[in-house]
Amino acid sequence: VGSGRCGRNGVVAVSMTVTTTRDRGRVVRTGGVRKVEEHNVRHGEVPGMSAWRYAGPELDDGEKPAVVYFALTAGQSLGLDPFNGLTREVVGDRIGGEGDSAGVRVFSMTLPFHGSMEQNEIAFRNWVMSYENGSDLVSEYCDRALLGIQELIRRGWIDPKRLGIAGLSRGALIASLIAAREQNVKAVLGFAPVTSLLALREFQQVENREGRDQLARLDL
């Protein structure tokens, strides 16, 4: 069940209630590339881009329309229920399955300080420490993600005329910031988006003036 509203800068905010299911993942190999199948969505490594993974048509199939999606780690964003709801809707049950007939890929890049679910739970603490020390963590991450998207386009794995970007919570903030800088992005979708880090209790602890100024510039 979901509801939506249009916020500042044209970002679509979506609130959702998700029913979760659990099953076990398995490792498979396709064409020599290691892929993990979790919750019926198979995702694979992006060669030469260790922070990135993808689901959908094989990269050897050439340029395809794509969605870049940010939620947790790249693998969790694509394969972990309920965070991979977008991936399941776009790609379908598995690579080569009926849902894959549209030929759309979903790419994802691991968010800063994310890893195990335990690490994800304390990731914001590390983000806060970064800003307390004057390091603009989110902007630096967006710089790397933007370069990654441009590299995926350069390698012929994303059709630049058919590129969307999406994110969940903190990932929606990042998706919006990247979309504002990448002219090829045609649509932005945010699920339960964070629109201001300074509005969150954790980030109100940042006392460093430079860090607070950096955080303020991230507001949507």
Nearest in space to 13 (alpha carbons), one of 175, 142, 214, 182: 175
pLDDT of amino acid 103 = 87
Nearest in space to 203 (alpha carbons), one of 122, 120, 119, 128: 128
Residues contacting 199, CB < 8 A, separation 6+: none
Q: Which residue has the higher pLDDT, 31 or 165?
A: 165
- Tokens found for residue 106: 């979903």
- In the three-class reduction of DSSP (H, G, I as helix; E, B as strand; rest coil), residue 77 is classed as helix
Q: Where are the alpha helices (DSSP H) in the chain?
A: 74-79, 85-91, 117-121, 123-132, 137-154, 170-179, 209-216
Give the least confident one: 15-29, 51-65, 156-170.
15-29
pLDDT of amino acid 59 = 94
User: 127: phi > 0 → left, psi -120 to 50 → alpha, else beta; which?
Assistant: alpha
Is 61 in contact with 70 (CB distance < 8 Å)?
no
pLDDT of amino acid 38 = 53
pTM over 0.95: no
Q: Is the pLDDT of residue 5 over 80?
A: no
Q: Is the pLDDT of residue 23 over 80?
A: no
* Start-to-end CA span in the chain (Å): 25
pLDDT of amino acid 168 = 97
Measured distance CA(146)–CA(30) in Å, rounded: 28
Phi and psi at 179, nearest 5°, equal -60, -35
pLDDT single digits (tens) 142-160: 999 999 999 999 999 999 9
What mean pLDDT comes out for the span 167-188?
97
Q: What mean pLDDT, rounded, does the chain reach?
A: 83
Q: How far is CA 55 from CA 18, 69, 206, in A?
A: 21, 11, 37
Give 31's Cβ-side CA count (13 Å radius).
10
Measured distance CA(172)–CA(139) in Å, rounded: 14
Q: What percent of the chain has pLDDT over 90?
A: 72
pLDDT of amino acid 41 = 79
